[in-house]
Structure 1
Amino acid sequence: MWAEKMGNVVRGAVAFMPSERCQRFLVGDLKEMPLDRTLDLSSRQLRRFPIRASAFNELVKLYLSDNHLSNLPSELRNLQKLQLLALDFNCFEELPLVVCSLVQLNILYLGNNRLYWLPKELQQLTELKTLWLETNCFSKFPRVICELPNIKTLHLGYNQLRSLPSELGRLEELRSIWLAGNLLNDFPPVLLKMHYLEVIDVDRNRICQFPSLAYLRGLKLVIYDHNPCVNAPVVAEGVRRVGRWADSSDDEEDEGDGKVAKASVNVQGSLEDNE
């Protein structure tokens, strides 16, 4: 444990030094592209993207999670075959435009940053299927998301959203939307028109009353726990509900947060297996 802590301290200090030798200490030599076309540079105390990695133009997956990045160089556009990019747990206040040039992206992780808006150029990512934006600073729904025709899974939990735009209904491929920990006072009306949704998570909001969801034909799971609601949403037979008055045993009701987490993980894993 002591050695690990000292290693982190050293890496943190080296991260402030821009020399090539110091960068090699953090990320290695990066001489050859990994055989599996996956490069994991997570948790390296990085404050700038190692330019040498942009030469790996056959990369399919790039993990830069849990660093101190706040911008990315234009050279990143060389990675045109990238399908997964993980930028979560960094220091981004704005999404670097170069990310929007990676038009083959299927999965983009942007959670746990400081984002409060998204550029219109994001609509260039027409192949994007999964977008993670949880734990950021969005007070308004970023409408450019409504221009992503193939999005299937959208994570926007733990922001400060008060409503969803009607344009969200354009996303006919959307199957799961995760909105826990926002400031919704009402159940978003647009969701009532999205019959293809399979998962709706509005846990930990301010919703006082739920409309009937019985006619949402594709619905499999609705998570509505930790709202000041006076009723449970009515759902069709076979739909799982997680929250007060849900159809569950007394033991399950006592599990609280664990029940929500388990349901979320199980359904999310099933959805990802199908993608």
Structure 2
Amino acid sequence: MGNVVRGAIAFVPSERCQRFLVGDLKEMPLDRTLDLSSRQLRRFPVRASAFDELVKLYLSDNHLSNLPLELRNLQKLQLLALDFNCFEELPLVICSLVQLNILYFGNNRLYSLPKELQQLTELKTLWLETNCFTSFPQVICELPNIKTLHLGYNQLRSLPAELGRLEELRSIWLAGNLLNDFPPVLLEMHYLEVMDVDRNRICQFPSLTHLRGLKLVIYDHNPCINAPVVAEGVRRVGRWADCSDDEEEEGDGKVANASAKAAVNTGSE
């Protein structure tokens, strides 16, 4: 009943109803973290934009489709979570938050990214899984410090050669796309540690032995006729991987995504 009531109240713009959803928001949290996830929000509580010392803002699992210009007051924000909302476009005001390190924008309805995103030069982690991208957003190639990129469960068929410019990139997650071939640009990215191409349409894998930085490759659920050949010590998850326990292998595949996100949060704090 609580969620039903919240859902109904979310349509009422009065100040009293908004306080019911998010509280009074009179004082900035001492830990400079504000969590407004799962509040049935349909609009951002503008009062929160007065907390100009905020470092982390969680707005996941709401019904947001836009953000007010007042959000740009949060110039110290380093983490912004907007996954599981209703955005069809990435609001330009986000591109003014130049201290952002981590941006979670998965499970929305994005099909493109604005060129202004390149202003986020400090961005290290970008999660865009389960959106509506049919082609790789080229502006990502202009983010020099990106370390973790998640574009799983979109409709990508290829990756651009310009991706190779991202020399800080360490993990790329591409599960659940429409890749027919292993992306050639990944063969040139010697600094990559994690590649996830699970659940694509790749029929044959090239040798990956020359990628000395590689630690994990996930390639399961492809119609491949071979396992990728990797250097000694590299973990493989997929058919014909040198794993003594098939159940353990399947379990690794299921938890890889969640483990990656936990590692990002731990390492970035």
3-state DSSP class of the match of 1:169?
helix
Distance 2:78 2:3 in 1: 30
Q: Which residue is equivalent to 1:53?
A: 48
Q: Which residue is equivalent to 2:90?
A: 95
Residue 125 of structure 2 corresponds to residue 130 of structure 1: yes
Distance 1:25 1:202 in 2: 43
Residue 258 of structure 1 deviates from its aligned partner by 2.0
Residue 222 of structure 2 corresponds to residue 227 of structure 1: yes
Give CA-to-partner distance per residue, 1:122-155, whole Å, 9 cap, x none: 0000000000000000000000000000000000
Residue 253 of structure 1 deviates from its aligned partner by 1.5
Distance 1:184 1:30 in 2: 46
| CA separation of 1:32 and 1:267: change in aligned 2, threshold 3 A | closer
3-state DSSP class of the match of 2:2?
helix
| CA separation of 1:83 and 1:185: change in aligned 2, threshold 3 A | same
Give CA-to-partner distance per residue, 1:219-250, whole Å, 9 cap, x none: 0000000000000000000000000000111x
- 1:114-153 superposed matches below 5 A: 114-153=109-148
Distance 1:7 1:267 in 2: 32
| CA separation of 1:139 and 1:272: change in aligned 2, threshold 3 A | same
3-state DSSP class of the match of 1:62?
strand
Residue 268 of structure 1 deviates from its aligned partner by 5.2
Residue 183 of structure 1 deviates from its aligned partner by 0.2
3-state DSSP class of the match of 2:254?
helix
3-state DSSP class of the match of 1:85?
strand
Q: Which residue is equivalent to 1:211?
A: 206
Q: Which residue is equivalent to 1:36?
A: 31
Which runs of no fewer than 5 residues in structure 1 stay unpaired? 1-5
| CA separation of 1:23 and 1:267: change in aligned 2, threshold 3 A | closer
- Paired residues, what number? 268
Determine which of 251, 254, 258 is the counterpart of 1:258: 251
Which runs of no fewer than 5 residues in structure 2 stay unpaired? none
Distance 1:68 1:104 in 2: 25
Determine which of 165, 172, 178 is the counterpart of 1:183: 178
User: Considering only aligned residues, what root-mean-square deviation do their CA atoms show, in Å?
Assistant: 1.2
Residue 267 of structure 1 deviates from its aligned partner by 5.3
Residue 269 of structure 1 deviates from its aligned partner by 4.2
Residue 218 of structure 1 deviates from its aligned partner by 0.2
Determine which of 5, 8, 17 is the counterpart of 1:13: 8
Determine which of 65, 68, 76 is the counterpart of 2:71: 76
Distance 1:74 1:269 in 2: 31
3-state DSSP class of the match of 1:196?
coil
Amino acid at match of 2:28: M
Identity, % of aligned positions: 85
Residue 264 of structure 1 deviates from its aligned partner by 4.3
Residue 262 of structure 1 deviates from its aligned partner by 3.2
TM-score, scaled relative to structure 2: 0.97
Runs of 4 or more above 6 Å deviation? none
Amino acid at match of 1:41: L
Give CA-to-partner distance per residue, 1:54-87, whole Å, 9 cap, x none: 0000000000000000000000000000000000
Q: Which residue is equivalent to 1:3?
A: none
| CA separation of 1:238 and 1:110: change in aligned 2, threshold 3 A | same
Distance 1:61 1:262 in 2: 25
Residue 23 of structure 1 deviates from its aligned partner by 0.5
Q: Which residue is equivalent to 1:242?
A: 237
Cα pair 2:146 2:168 within 8 Å, conserved: yes
3-state DSSP class of the match of 1:25?
helix
